[in-house]
Amino acid sequence: MVKLKIGIPRSLFYYYYKDIWENFFDRIDVELVISPKTNKKIMDDAIKYSNDEMCLSLKNYIGHVSYLKDKCDYILIPRIDNYGTDNQTCTNFLAAFDIINNIFDVKILNYNINLNKKETEENGLINIGLRMGYSIKYLKKIYKNALKKAEEKRLSLIRKNIKKLESEKIKILILGHPYNLYDELFGKQIIKILEKNNIEIIYSDLFHSDITNKLSERLSYNLYWKYNKENIGCIPLVEDKVNGIIFLSSFPCGPDSLVNELVIRKIKLPYLNLVLDDLDSMTGVETRIESFIDILEGMNNNV
């Protein structure tokens, strides 16, 4: 029997939910088709199908959908509105379904996350499984197991990230969304530059999100973007343990442009604000990073 093929774009949602998705769908006998790491062809398609007002990260997502459109039966695209009134997501997380539906002639598998309406990830995935003929008892069991495995993996990564704060090397907190930090053409290029310069990299997304979400109030008491709160909330945790911060965002991200500017005005640590747009060359970015490292090393030697 030929398995149903479900495509997952390696962008945006992927970096938050991939472990749950992979563990869940593995138990309902479907084949996941994950797009490759971002490459020039994917970005060329991203530009082709996008408009100028879209942020670089959304364009990238569209490029990954373009890669998958003829390689699977459905593409998984959730609609994520909020995790409560004070934990909204970027509008692109809600609008991606409609954007893709209007650009491509593809079948979309979707579910909603809107805690204000009691629409949860668990219910969404279970409903998908019910449509495929599985029992609700079985689906609840495999979702619980998928969530447990994903949380165990994340806790392991968090422990390693926190352990690096003990390093004697120059430590830089790189603050950004996972879909930027870990993308092959975005954050990975910056990470390679930092590693080449013997920098200990601390990742903003690898802390306990319930803690960082709350700590964000020290920098902004009325911020309501969930992922921005979790990002900036790690600063109070590490500000006395790192030498500097690199803010990484994609142009023209609305939440990041507002939040990063707000935070930059309040912190005392040295910082570098990188806004990625043109990816044809990283030479200018590399020069700025190396200059920033020189400043941090000079300050560290004078302590």
The pLDDT tens digits for 70-108 are 999 999 999 999 999 999 999 999 999 999 999 999 999
pLDDT at 300 over 90: no
- Of 140-144, 196-200, 219-223, 241-245, the one with minimum mean pLDDT is 219-223
When pLDDT is cut at 50, 70 and 90, the band that residue 2 belongs to is confident
- Classify each residue of 32-58 as buried b or exposed e, where b means 16 or more C-beta atoms within 10 Å of its C-beta: bbbbeebeeebbebbeebbeeebbbbb
pLDDT tens track for 11-57: 999 999 999 999 999 999 899 999 999 999 999 999 999 998 899 99
Q: How far apart are CA 199 and CA 204, in angstroms?
A: 15
Q: How far apart are CA 178 and CA 78, in angstroms?
A: 17
Q: What is the pLDDT of residue 184?
A: 95
Closest CA to 110 of 95, 92, 128: 128
Closest CA to 237 of 262, 205, 260: 205
Instruction: Report the chain's mean pLDDT, rounded to a whole number.
Output: 94
Q: Which two tokens stand for residue 212?
A: 């960082």
Which residues, other chains included, contact 108 with Cβ-Cβ below 8 Å and sequence gap of 6+? Answer: 74, 75, 76, 77, 97, 100, 101
pLDDT tens track for 189-240: 999 999 999 999 999 999 999 999 999 999 999 999 999 999 999 999 999 9
pLDDT at 280 over 70: no
Rounded mean pLDDT, 154-166:
98
Q: What is the pLDDT of residue 43?
A: 94
Q: What is the pLDDT of residue 36?
A: 97
Task: Classify residue 118 as left (phi > 0), alpha (psi -120 to 50) or beta.
Answer: left
Please, what are the domains in the chain? Answer: 5-152 (3.40.50), 167-301 (3.40.50.2300)
Closest CA to 203 of 296, 89, 194, 216: 194
The percentage of the chain sitting over the pLDDT mark of 90, rounded to a whole number, equals: 91
Predicted structure pTM score: 0.94
pLDDT tens track for 170-189: 999 999 999 999 999 999 99
When pLDDT is cut at 50, 70 and 90, the band that residue 3 belongs to is confident
